[in-house]
Structure 1
């Protein structure tokens, strides 16, 4: 009986220690690098996964989930798709610290110059890689994101934080969803009015955002190309130091407890 008690309790303590070693808290910080009267970003979807998730593929038609992000900045259906993959991925949405959404009732967008950050607990195995998606506004179907599932590695094969360098999203890193004409008509966050024209194109890279310059916005200004610059956003990472018991301490404490129980049994005998 005493041996069974020792084995089960010690086993539980070992599992606790192991699981604690696997968890990692990471702080993610997103900044819109446009200057005043530049471009806005819709709430940015962050996906932490095992390297098998991809939000889109260049040269292929956008999924309905990507279309919802690229045209309206709506991430809910893509989060549902990520969860349905059953790969242990985690998602988080970074919103603006204040202000309004690209559509009525939506969470705040990231204004030019604004910073959004959050901290999330990750599993270095199932959340080893990072991907992101966000709509550029005002636009018809322009967005940012990474097409390669393994482009950004947060943890190495041993589960150690990689100190991933800051991701800088430049103007030539922007994507066209291929689902609407880029004429500003019916574009989210734009007050140009009109009706969007649907297209059946494919996801492609955008080398210039000239078609967005001069667009009137819901914030009351005209997009000025001089304020957009060449760099649109940055995403940076830092590991948050946990404050657990020293390594092996849970096992030691439980072991001492088991020894005490065994001694009491011997004394009673």
Structure 2
């Protein structure tokens, strides 16, 4: 009888563990002191259907708000509604690519208020489905200082979590490596409108600190960019910024930072209750065999 009960409990625990798995997402800044900064990072888990951008096409409104203001609300709303931003290479589509309610997302903030500064590490745990509905991982964050620079995975299936869905293992990669930062093409590069004001004057991200520029206090306040499409930032990323006389840009050239701006690590976290129950079951089986 005891053996039957223990086996039933083990099977129940296994079934629970099989339906969902906890994934810890850790973001570690690799930038040098005074270097590039990331706004709170939006992350999402999906079935491979969410495409955040394609180079050469216009940024969608949700991505624009993130790239200009560090605001993750609009992209999160679209993501959770099951939409994709770029479908079949056609800009402006918002087709439902995955049923609403199947995706999981969140915004990972720094250890303190404001952006993820050089030297900081932050993490958050997400509970995702183990049946493939949340198999792929996406991220997006604004790069500071800028009007509309951002990092995100261009391929929806770039980061496959299949090996983590059994509740074990980890996956690690770098974001913001040379050649991977993008210009959303929604605002002209002008430090007078770089959001947030990195001197902390406008209150969007207090304490980021850069030159005491007034910056933006809301969306769509900078001059329009003539290019209007998403493009990779090549060469000196701040060569085209206006009104930057007198600012020390030392350390800000992420295109000369071979290690990238930050490292992302996803680690499967065993469910505490399941681990404890497994240990209890094992102890019970050992006791039963002794008797």
Aligned to 1:121: 127
SS at match of 1:210: coil
Contact 1:22/1:159 (<8 A) preserved: no
**Are the counterparts in 1 of residues 164 and 170 from structure 2 also a CA contact under 8 Å?**
no
1:112 to 106, 114, 118: 118
Q: TM-score, normalised by structure 2?
A: 0.69
Normalising by structure 1, report the TM-score: 0.74
CA contact (8 A) 1:27 1:238 kept: yes
Say if 1:216 and 1:75 are closer, same or farther in 2 by CA, change over 3 A. farther
Q: Residue 64 of structure 1 corresponds to which residue in structure 2? A: 61
Q: In the alignment, what sits opposite 1:232? A: 261
Mark the CA change 1:237 to 1:212 in structure 2 (over 3 Å): closer, same or farther.
farther
Does the C-alpha gap of structure 1 residues 159 and 52 become closer, same or farther in structure 2, counting only changes over 3 Å? Answer: farther
Q: 1:140 to 1:226 in 2, by over 3 A?
A: closer
1:184 is displaced (CA, Å) by 2.2
Greater percentage in helix: 1
CA distance in 1: counterparts of 2:164 and 2:121, whole angstroms:
31
| Residue 22 (structure 1) shift | 2.8
Structure 1 equivalent of residue 285 of structure 2: none
Q: In structure 2, the residue corresponding to 1:225 is in which secondary structure?
A: coil
Match of 2:171 in 1: 164
Q: Which residue of 1 aligns with 2:201?
A: none
Q: 1:166 offset after TM fit, Å?
A: 2.8
Superposed CA deviations along residues 52-86 of structure 1, whole A, max 9, x for unmatched, are 11211221100010100000000001111011111
Match of 1:138 in 2: 145
- Any conservation in 1 of the 2:237–2:253 contact (CA below 8 Å)? no
CA distance in 1, matches of 2:232, 2:169: 28
Distance, in Å, in 2 between the alignment partners of 1:166 and 1:222 is 30
Q: How many residues align?
A: 230
Asked if 1:152 corresponds to 2:138, the answer is no
Larger Cα-atom Rg: 1
Query: C-alpha displacement at 1:14, in angstroms?
Result: 6.8
The 2-side partners of 1:75 and 1:67 are apart by 10
The answer to whether the 8 A contact 2:189-2:241 is kept is: no
* Structure 2 equivalent of residue 204 of structure 1: 231
Alignment check: 8 A CA contact 1:128 1:156 kept: no
What is the CA RMSD across the aligned residues, in angstroms?
3.3
Alignment gaps of 5+ in structure 2 = 1-7, 83-99, 198-211, 216-220, 282-291
